[in-house]
Amino acid sequence: MKSVNEGAKGYRRLIPSLTALVEFEAVARLSSFTLAANELGVTPAAVSRQIRFLEESLGVRVFHRLHRSIKLTSDGEALYLVVAESMQRIAGVFDRLSNESEERELVLATTAAFSHFRVVPTLLELKRAQPQLKLRLTTQMFTADLRHHEVDIAVRFGNGKWRDGTSSFLFDEDVFPVCSPAWLQAHGSPQSLAELAKVQLIESDSTSEGWMDWETWFQAAGIRPPRLQYALRCSLYTDAIQASLRGQGVALGWRRLLTELLGTGELVRMTEATIKAGDSYYAVIPHGRTITPTTSAVIDWLRGNTTSR
């Protein structure tokens, strides 16, 4: 068995400069030598020297130097993924060992729909479990590059494979038609999907990859209705649900988002037909962010909200 000292010599041989790796991670995350230098408190020239030393040590290029920008090479991308994840774990251990008494503000990024329907209704539960937590909510219409945003946790809908962070599965999703009890009483329940296609449908624009519109939902259900006539079209899903709550028609209901409204009976299902979404919800920790006990607790809270009450 090798001694500890022998192992250390081996690491120094394979990793000639931890400083170069730290500066490489910052440049790759920020896509800028200048921004990385500002973050690290050194000059851009010093950062450039470290990157050049790293490339010479490895014998490969890690960045494409373009006219006014830089881009990771395939070798650089492979190195960045492992370095970012490793540094995230190291930072998490340092944070726990430092035992800081005061928690800083935690920034949670979600879509407006997720925040409105899933986060805000259960914030009291989180505050009871984490009374010292300082939370800031930020909403995003589309999936933003986390390397250029001050975010600690981002909730995303997709396949869980993103290059700018580490994903943790939250829950999957089912989609079915919903309306208000008053609308159902006034119009009755359609006897078939073909009849459903003729009712007052409320549409919302897809803002995330994998989100269904009505046409996609009907096709997944096995029918191709004639051109749909919408009672209302909305750019935001929150507006579509608000319109449905007020008896203006039938919207597509995402079960995990609408747990609260379905549980109280403010919204009801129109039919038993359900389409399982191909993607799922994930909590994403950006590379370079520390995974603290509070971060883990918030992710557990997001995941725990999936149970019906």
- pLDDT, tens digit, 9 for 90 and up, residues 82-119: 888 888 777 766 665 654 545 568 889 998 899 999 99
Domain hosting 223: range is 174-276
Q: Write out pLDDT tens, residues 259-305.
A: 999 999 999 999 899 999 989 999 999 887 778 888 999 999 999 74
Specify the higher pLDDT residue, 147 or 293.
293
Given a contact cutoff of 8 angstroms between Cβ atoms, the answer to whether 81 and 163 are in contact is: yes
Do 272 and 180 share a structural domain? yes
Amino acid at 56: E
Written in H, E and C, the secondary structure of the chain is CCCHHHHHHHHHHHCCCHHHHHHHHHHHHHCCHHHHHHHHCCCHHHHHHHHHHHHHHHCCCCEEECCCCEEECHHHHHHHHHHHHHHHHHHHHHHHHHCCCCCCEEEEEECHHHHHHHHHHHHHHHHHHCCCCEEEEEECCCCCCHHHCCCCEEEEEECCCCCCEEEEEEECCEEEEEECHHHHHHHCCCCCHHHHCCCCEEEECCCCCCCCCHHHHHHHHCCCCCCCCEEEEECCHHHHHHHHHCCCCEEEEECCCCHHHHHHCCCEECCCCCEECCCEEEEEEECCCCCCHHHHHHHHHHHHCCCCC
Do 109 and 88 share a structural domain? no
Q: Give the domain-ending residue among 66, 98, 130.
A: 98
Domain count, the chain: 3
Q: How confident is the model at residue 139 (pLDDT cuts 50, 70, 90)?
A: confident
Q: How confident is the model at residue 3 (pLDDT cuts 50, 70, 90)?
A: very low
Spell out the residues 6+ positions from residue 147 whose beta carbon is closer than 8 angstroms to its own: 28, 29, 30, 31, 164, 286, 287, 288
Do 269 and 221 share a structural domain? yes
Do 217 and 135 share a structural domain? no
Q: Would the pTM count as exceeding 0.85?
A: no
Do 84 and 208 share a structural domain? no
Amino acid at 23: E
If you average pLDDT over every residue of the chain, what do you get? 85
Do 180 and 216 share a structural domain? yes
d(CA 62, CA 74): 8
309 part of a folded domain: no
61 part of a folded domain: yes
Q: How far are the Cα atoms of 111, 172, 176, 206, 233 from residue 203, in angstroms, in the given order?
A: 17, 22, 13, 9, 5
Q: What is the CATH number of the domain that holds 42?
A: 1.10.10.10
Do 179 and 167 share a structural domain? no
Burial class (CB in 10 A: 0-12, 13-18, 19+), 241: buried
- pLDDT score, position 103: 54
Q: How confident is the model at residue 13 (pLDDT cuts 50, 70, 90)?
A: low
